[in-house]
Amino acid sequence: MPDDVTQASSGSRPPGPGPAAPSRASSGGGSPRPSGPDPVASLRDPRALQILTAEHGSLLSARSLAYNEAFTRGGMFLAFLSMSFVALALVAQALPLDRAFLSVAAVVLAFDLVVGLTTYGRIIATSYEDYRAVHGMARIRHGYGEIAPLLLPYFTTSVHDDLQGVMVSYGSPPTAGLGAVLYQLTTSGSMIGLIVSMVGGVLALVVTIILGATVTLAILIAAVAALGVFLGLAATTIRFYFRVQANFEVLFPTSPGHEPDL
């Protein structure tokens, strides 16, 4: 009897409906899932204007930061230079004006020269960052003009991203010849470069006198050193700007014979 019960319980179960198999249509077939919004395909899409506006605001912030850093670095250098001269005046009251004082002056001027060179380099870099932001805003302004051509007469800056068009935002200064040289001499970077050159000349004067040269010879060497530092900075800056300008891709050049007012 127990064997019959055991055999009945261990035997095969009668066929019946088993658990439902997973439906393939729910996993592999059926309607596809939504893939999100369609990409922007035209400037007429309102999302294009939102993207351009956001990028424009980002470039404005970047330009403001570049300006602030340039002015701050220039002010820090001038303050450091002034304090170093005050320190030299205090040292001169304790030391006689002989080789010992000149050695201290040479060390201080060497620090001033190093700080001045690094400040000049950073100001030139911030000028490049500012130019890059203006270049990008000119492209965005061109996009605004394509979206709403009716607004073009109301723009006071250019919609072209070549050198001639970008320089409209700076007042359309000359970009070649003697006029470009004179314009560059009026910029903040050139002012710092001129001060650094004078510091280098004074340092050369002090070192030359320490080495025993006459005052006349020392002044001549100082003038040559100051001129050499200034020309070296100018040549380095020109090469830098030519290199970065060649890397800018121009998409919307100014038409030949067209005044770059837009």
Task: Pick 37 or 22 by higher pLDDT.
Answer: 37
The pLDDT tens digits for 90-104 are 998 888 878 889 999
The pLDDT tens digits for 217-226 are 999 999 999 9
Task: Pick 260 or 248 by higher pLDDT.
Answer: 248
Quick one: pLDDT at residue 8? 42
Local confidence band at 203 (pLDDT 50, 70, 90 cut-offs)? very high
Quick one: pLDDT at residue 10? 44
The pLDDT tens digits for 76-92 are 999 999 999 999 999 98
The pLDDT tens digits for 175-197 are 778 888 888 888 899 999 999 99
Quick one: pLDDT at residue 46? 87
The answer, yes or no, to whether residue 32 has pLDDT greater than 80, is: no
Average pLDDT of the chain is 85
Local confidence band at 231 (pLDDT 50, 70, 90 cut-offs)? very high
- Per-domain boundaries in the chain: 44-247
The answer, yes or no, to whether residue 155 has pLDDT greater than 60, is: yes
What average pLDDT score do residues 37-57 get?
Answer: 88
Quick one: pLDDT at residue 259? 52
Task: Pick 73 or 96 by higher pLDDT.
Answer: 73
Can you tell me the distance from the alpha carbon of 247 to that of 59, in angstroms, rounded to the nearest whole number? 19
pTM of this prediction exceeds 0.85: no
Answer yes or no: are the C-beta atoms of 105 and 90 closer than 8 Å: no
What average pLDDT score do residues 157-161 get?
Answer: 91
Local confidence band at 6 (pLDDT 50, 70, 90 cut-offs)? very low
CA 254 to chain centre: 24
The 3-class SS string of the chain reads CHHHHHHHHHCCCCCCCCCCCCCHHHHCCCCCCCCCCCCCCCCCCHHHHHHHHHHHHHHHHHHHHHHHHHHHHHHHHHHHHHHHHHHHHHHHHHCCCCHHHHHHHHHHHHHHHHHHHHHHHHHHHHHHHHHHHHHHHHHHHHHHHHHCHHHHHHCCCCCCCCHHHHHHHHCCCCCCHHHHHHHHHCCHHHHHHHHHHHHHHHHHHHHHHHCCCCHHHHHHHHHHHHHHHHHHHHHHHHHHHHHHHHHCCCCCCCCCCCCCCC
Lowest mean pLDDT among 97-101, 109-113, 145-149: 97-101
Name the nearest CA neighbour of 101 among 116, 117, 90, 113. Answer: 90
Task: Pick 25 or 253 by higher pLDDT.
Answer: 253
* Cβ neighbours for 240, distance < 8 A, ≥ 6 positions apart: 124, 128
